[in-house]
Chain A
Amino acid sequence: MSPLNIKKGSTKHSAYNLRSTFSDVQETHTLAVLVANEPGVLARVIGLFSGRGYNIDSLTVAEVDHSGHTSRITIVTTGTPQVIEQIKAQLGRIVPVHEVHDLTVEGASVERELALIKVEGSGDKRVEALRLADIFRAQVVDSTLESFVFQITGTPEKVDAFVDLMRPLGLAEVARTGVAALSRGV
């Protein structure tokens, strides 16, 4: 048997070459992860994302059932469909993870975020900021003669839009909670 001939200088050589048949379209998904509220559970979830190179666009976590020791982690992530499937499967593999829901594919859902936005300024700019806040139904939760702190809730896009508008009007600081999400209906 003669040895097989392999082309010299071929660029196709790497066993770690993962150019696969999978689609490379990027999608954004919102995942709701119900976990046992035990020490280190958030570190496990975050460690999974950093260890396997997945993206976290936003992450919120809080206990939702004190007697049942259950917390809800809401993660917004971006990746190819194959990566999103892997993320869900890998999350499901973590021992204290009880349920993983992909709200983006499991029917309609509501997503809301809360932000606190500090705007500094005086004169016309200050008046304009207040007027825009009114249009966005943002509330003033703190006020001095040179500043406001607005509280706004809504979709991340709405918060983005408001923050963009405040930028020329003296935007000083922004604090956002990240997305909380629930499926619609029963």
Chain B
Amino acid sequence: MVVQALKDQGVDTVFGYPGGAVLPIYDEIFQQNGIRHYLVRHEQGAVHAAEGYARATGKPGVVLVTSGPGATNAVTGLTDALMDSIPIVVLTGQVPTFMIGSDAFQEADTVGITRPCTKHNWLVKDTDALSGTIHEAFHVATSGRPGPVLVDIPKDVQFASGTYTEKAKAKVSHYQPQLKGDMATITQLVEALETAERPIFYTGGGVINSGPGASQLLRELVDATGIPITSTLMGLGCYPASGKHWLGMLGMHGLYEANLAMHGCDLMINIGARFDDRITGRLDAFSPKSRKAHIDIDPSSINKVIRVDMPIIGDVGHVLEDILKVWKARGRKVNKEGLQKWWHQIEQWRAVDCLKYKPSDKAIRPQYALDRLEQLTKGRDRYITTEVGQHQMWAAQYLGFEDPNRWMTSGGLGTMGYGTPASIGVQVAHPDALVINVAGEASWLMNMQEMSTAVQYRLPVKQFILNNERLGMVRQWQELLHGERYSHSWSEALPDFVKLAEAFGCKGILCKDPADLDDAIMEMLDYDGPVIFDCLVEKHENCFPMIPSGEPHNKMLLGEASTKDAIGSKGAVMV
């Protein structure tokens, strides 16, 4: 019945790990062909793989794990998907209903544990309700602001036979989020857009979640109005990096021109972003002179941290369509003179060239490694995943994304260990594409067991590890905040990654000389199979630009020289 319901929902891929309490479902999977099951090596990997799959396809990712430890191992992935609004459906086995509460073997209060880290969850105690609940789960995961859901299914419910409800005949859900924005506010926004002297689009993951159509509409609106656009980490790709009006990413490690434009604008149009603390910096100095519009499908995002003047609750795609319609009907007006001056100002900021670095001929600078990776893979059918840390920020800065759904990174939760399983999920979704996980060696070690999955299913994922033998971002903060006392931020016992690759049955490449880098990257790209690329980089490189914690956007640090004593003692309380 579970398998039938999944097929009804159009599911053809499941990531999972069997165990006692899900054996009946695994037995059904064995006896059919419509659904392909990928056996991971750890349940956290299953959820991250499903996240990668979901983000690369726009479809919900599906996970099947057992009770107890199976479910608790999935918690990090669920929290990650909740923070980044990724649609995931997790099915967990549970001990039989008559044993619930008895501390049975591999029993855990799964719905209790996962209540705060799912959008919604269900414990199904009646087989007749099972298929309907699964249909409802897919509806909740994918409508409104997407998110992870979990259905906990006791083993006796799996064994019993009951009445199957088809998707089309399932009860209409009470959960129906509003999609269309308020027309009066949309008109007000268009009026503001027509006269603004220094407008800016600030876009986020909501554009990607709304679907490729929303990105198309955004591109049309940006290019027709000529208004500059910046994006959060989550929204990269919704407007092409090669686009004429692109300012680059904003935020703590965002580009100088993007952050100063946010600070100096007079009209900020937030589309599907949520004023995260990595974006805003100090709140009372955040973009002080602007009127702000906020388009978000989740009413609780409005006025959560920043009070806005024009809140528009609705789906990004629907609202953008209406904005374009109103703007065109009113005669496609913009403040040409103002915009010209604004762009002139932005060009001056851009001339600072905040991502500039000096390549070295002795050690590979991480920026150089990503620059070369970008040059050698640009134009290919390419998907990038990352782990969390300095490499993640460098990847966001130095790689260009032309389309949505090509960039998967753990933004909200910042989960080290995300990238490897996510790359597997992406590769499963796009078997012929080039999938690269840009990683740091410390993050990569957190879920490296999934290389075994990649090898088993012949998924040619490329693990591009920028190895500085340090927890780079932690080290950077310790240098800036904690008197250069590098407490436990390096590893003295790293594995030999090439031998590790061989042990897994894939290819290992070591590169430490900048002169060899291009050839080594080409070797990785040309190899038909999974690769672990150990790129030994400069060990003490810091990630700039950087807005020191608690500073506004116009107080950016651009280079190492300016960082000494930059952050006061109060800044030390943050991450």
Residues of A within 8 A of B (CB): 1, 3-6, 8-22, 36, 39-40, 43-44, 47, 51, 82, 85-86, 89-90, 92-96, 98
Contact = CB atoms under 8 A, between A and B. Distances in A.
Contact of A92 (B300, B305, B571): B300
Q: Which range contains the number of B residues in contact with the other chain?
A: 35 or more
A4 B562 contact: yes
Contacts of A94: 120
A86 B300 contact: yes
Interface string B555-572: 111110110011111111
B551 A12 contact: yes
Nearest to B118: A95
A89 B305 contact: no
A14 B567 CA distance: 9
B284 interface: yes
Contacts, number: 116
Contacts of A96: 120, 174
Contact of A15 (B123, B556, B569, B574): B574
A89 B300 contact: yes
Interface of B: 111-112, 115-116, 119-120, 123, 140, 174-175, 252, 277-278, 281-284, 298-300, 302-307, 352, 548-551, 554-559, 561-562, 565-575
A84 B555 CA distance: 33
A95 B140 contact: yes
A53 B193 CA distance: 37
5 closest residue pairs by CB, A with B: A3-B562, A13-B571, A13-B550, A89-B300, A95-B120
A47 B109 CA distance: 15
Given A3-B558, A15-B277, A43-B115, 13 more contacts: A3-B559, A4-B562, A14-B570, A14-B571, A19-B284, A20-B283, A20-B284, A39-B123, A43-B112, A44-B115, A82-B303, A86-B303, A95-B119
B72 to A, nearest CB: 18
29 contacts: A3-B559, A3-B562, A4-B557, A6-B548, A6-B551, A6-B566, A6-B567, A12-B568, A13-B568, A14-B571, A14-B574, A15-B252, A15-B277, A16-B277, A17-B283, A17-B550, A17-B570, A20-B307, A21-B283, A36-B174, A39-B123, A40-B112, A40-B123, A43-B115, A86-B300, A89-B299, A92-B300, A95-B175, A98-B174
Nearest to A89: B300
A93 B298 CA distance: 8
A36 B570 CA distance: 45
A160 to B, nearest CB: 33
B558 A1 contact: yes
A76 B303 CA distance: 22
Nearest to A5: B562
Nearest to B575: A15
Contacts of B561: 3
Interface of B (DSSP majority class):
loop
Contacts of A82: 303, 307
Interface of A (DSSP majority class):
loop
Contact of A22 (B282, B307, B352, B559): B307
Nearest to B174: A98
Nearest to B125: A39
Contacts of A90: 300
Contacts of B305: 18, 20
A90 B298 CA distance: 9
Contacts of A16: 277, 573-574
A178 to B, nearest CB: 23
Contacts of A17: 282-283, 550, 570
A44 B112 CA distance: 9
Contact of B115 (A3, A40, A86): A40
A12 B115 contact: no
A16 to B, nearest CB: 5
B443 to A, nearest CB: 21
A21 B302 contact: no
A1 B299 CA distance: 42
Nearest to A22: B307
B567 A18 contact: no
Contacts of A44: 115
